[in-house]
Structure 1
């Protein structure tokens, strides 16, 4: 395609993916403003793009993990302990920041307004969240593929990969070839991102507009501000502690290449192929990122921790419930655990708000109204949340890979 004689096609591929996505964004806004009916009809383009990403992501994750584990050489480290520590540290600090911001700039929400009946079934407590996580880990592999259960796929991928480490070399080569083939399909789908973004933005703006957002402007400012602080200060600080060098080139790359696509897809799961491509392009350790990217999409949810904390404390404040320091610390811990249980789909974190609200004796009827408010502001909140979650994965994986390479170079120098 890049060697086509058509000047428009050649220009399209020469521009680059991110400028194309921004162009799709601008055209989508213009279409929504000019013709609402036409913009609503463009929703098919966005749905096709998201569904294509979602359909290829589960099989890609399973095959990549199997290929990576089966080809893993003895003595090489995947650095999962360090990464998981970074994931949880990031979520705890995000929840703590959201708690402090909620005390300094308390938000009020109107719980008396009629909210549409939402057919959602939130978990009853933290124990149920943990049980759900365990159930996902032992899920049937076929069912995990169909339902995009990434935690289950990772467990099965690791298990099959470990078993195949004793297989013939030709079997390992076949698994690697299969992973390259599926990655090729992913690259083709990602090339259609600008068209998908155009359809998503135009149809979303035509359907909702920004009227609902202005009602909760203060709440949105607190949410988005916390997420920006995590992305631009907390994540770089954690990355620096691991890699011991300026983390901002990596941070800005992750924001440009990972956060922007995630902002529009609003799905950490759908952005898995994008993050794998970024890690591959930046020449990060494949043994690390092939497992860490899908794992991060399942449990690294700093944005979700912020959303759950801020909306819970906004509800508490609106109901005039006093919160002491011990309850606030406990809320941070509960929120971090709950965030791990947030599904990798749009609005997944909202379902876990009732768990945090239950700490303060807030009934599910009120929590359901808070979920409704979350859905109303989700055009911005959920987009920024997903962008933070997804880009954080790249930052932490890049930091660990950089530290590993630095350590390897030091070992080689000491040997010489």
Structure 2
């Protein structure tokens, strides 16, 4: 048994996750009723990550800012530019792909039980209210905008504190980081439970009727991940971008795909940034910020489903309106964190640009919920892996200017 455990622990986390994934699929296809209890493993894994992530982010950001030395470059400006640029270009790509491969929807499903935001002003208001949320409530509800704002303010206030106080905060953040590493080691078991639950509950056949829509959505996200993002990375680091792109997709995207939660994947991204040798002062802020505003996948979802509704209703769209949709989908995606339901509930906002009635738009949201198993998984994988990708890109660009060698470990 000891030899077996040693061999298991010597495998890379990704290989262990693939094994867990394969076992989950086999059990779901062969003996779903007998193996049903393993669903709890997925719930426990995601629950543990979601539970520890808000505390980790709060302590990491506060400690990083409190100990920040004057004159130390953090690359945050470059990272924010990359986040916004990536989200906008994803929206543009979604519009172009939707024109190339128009989709017609069967608008029978509805989502009347949910409430969509009334406009951009409502999204921004929700965002601002989350910024000034009670700090304890923000941590309890995993409101990362509120967590970020309070951790930044406390970090700035603690810059003048004694060294012993700063050391204590740093030790606390290190302790929570260690707990996160322990939880991540259980990822293979958690993902085995998650993939089993997804296949056993929904089945693959339930998605076949929406094959064309899923093909456009997922194809567009793959195009962003494997074409647009590598081009952006190459422009910054002037080096083959694919080792970094594929590493981020493999080590961050896989777990994000199955947990379907950017919040739950924050600790995974923190660990990957550490492996890449990035500056902790930078990624402790940029990763939770990216989980809030770096929403390329959400921009794709909003644009594709909106244009599918437009095409279904026979509405003519000109180039100018398409560009406005690209901008709107990017802005709405960045502000989606405070809206329950995420990107899908921002579709009526985009549909209003074309004069589509709200009741019809909510039927489009209903279609979104039907394909949400795969759509949300791919969206989260793209969003979360890109957080690490752009954080690393900004730092590697600085290394290139300084003449330092950029080495990406496999």
TM-score by length of 2: 0.95
**1:414 aligned partner:** none
Inter-partner Cα distance in structure 1 for 2:241 and 2:185:
28
Q: Is the 8 A contact 2:127 2:338 kept in 1?
A: no
Structure 2 residue 377 is the aligned partner of structure 1 residue 383? yes
Gaps of 5+ in 2: 405-410
Q: 2:279 aligns with which of 285, 291, 302?
A: 285
Structure 2 residue 230 is the aligned partner of structure 1 residue 202? no
For residue 37 of structure 1, give the secondary structure of its aligned residue in structure 2. Answer: coil
Structure 2 residue 74 is the aligned partner of structure 1 residue 74? no
CA separation of 1:135/1:331 partners in 2, compared to 1, >3 Å: closer, same or farther?
same
Structure 2 residue 131 is the aligned partner of structure 1 residue 137? yes
Structure 2 residue 95 is the aligned partner of structure 1 residue 86? no
**1:338 aligned partner:** 332
Structure 2 residue 314 is the aligned partner of structure 1 residue 320? yes
Give the drift of 1:339: 0.6
Q: Is the 8 A contact 2:256 2:384 kept in 1?
A: yes
Q: 1:45 aligns with which of 41, 44, 62?
A: 41
For residue 34 of structure 2, give the secondary structure of its aligned residue in structure 1. Answer: helix
Q: Is the 8 A contact 2:79 2:390 kept in 1?
A: yes
Give the drift of 1:331: 0.6
**1:15 aligned partner:** 11
Inter-partner Cα distance in structure 1 for 2:329 and 2:349:
9
Q: Deviations over 1:249-285 (max 9, x none)?
A: 1111101101111111011111000000000111111
CA separation of 1:294/1:344 partners in 2, compared to 1, >3 Å: closer, same or farther?
farther
Q: 2:170 aligns with which of 162, 176, 194?
A: 176
Q: Is the 8 A contact 2:138 2:144 kept in 1?
A: yes
Give the drift of 1:350: 1.0
Give the drift of 1:344: 8.7
Q: Is the 8 A contact 2:117 2:123 kept in 1?
A: yes
Aligned residues: 404
Give the drift of 1:363: 2.2
Structure 2 residue 185 is the aligned partner of structure 1 residue 185? no
Q: Is the 8 A contact 1:151 1:298 kept in 2?
A: yes
Deviates more, 1:43-52 or 1:89-98: 43-52
Matches within 5 A, 1:236-251: 236-251=230-245
Give the drift of 1:23: 1.1
For residue 337 of structure 1, give the secondary structure of its aligned residue in structure 2. Answer: helix
Alpha carbon RMSD of aligned pairs, Å? 1.6
Q: Is the 8 A contact 1:141 1:156 kept in 2?
A: yes
Give the drift of 1:361: 1.8
Inter-partner Cα distance in structure 2 for 1:262 and 1:45:
16
Give the drift of 1:382: 1.1
Give the drift of 1:13: 0.5
Gaps of 5+ in 1: 411-416
Q: 1:34 aligns with which of 27, 30, 45?
A: 30
Q: Deviations over 1:357-395 (max 9, x none)?
A: 111122222222222211211221111111110111111
Inter-partner Cα distance in structure 2 for 1:225 and 1:92:
17
For residue 38 of structure 1, give the secondary structure of its aligned residue in structure 2. Answer: coil
Matches within 5 A, 1:111-126: 111=107, 113-115=108-110, 119-126=113-120
CA separation of 1:22/1:151 partners in 2, compared to 1, >3 Å: closer, same or farther?
same
CA separation of 1:346/1:20 partners in 2, compared to 1, >3 Å: closer, same or farther?
farther
Give the drift of 1:152: 1.1
Give the drift of 1:404: 2.1
Q: Is the 8 A contact 1:254 1:395 kept in 2?
A: yes
Deviates more, 1:157-166 or 1:356-365: 356-365
Q: Deviations over 1:218-255 (max 9, x none)?
A: 11111111111111111111122222222221111101
Q: Deviations over 1:304-357 (max 9, x none)?
A: 100110001001111111111111111111100111123399962112111111
Q: 1:148 aligns with which of 134, 142, 145?
A: 142
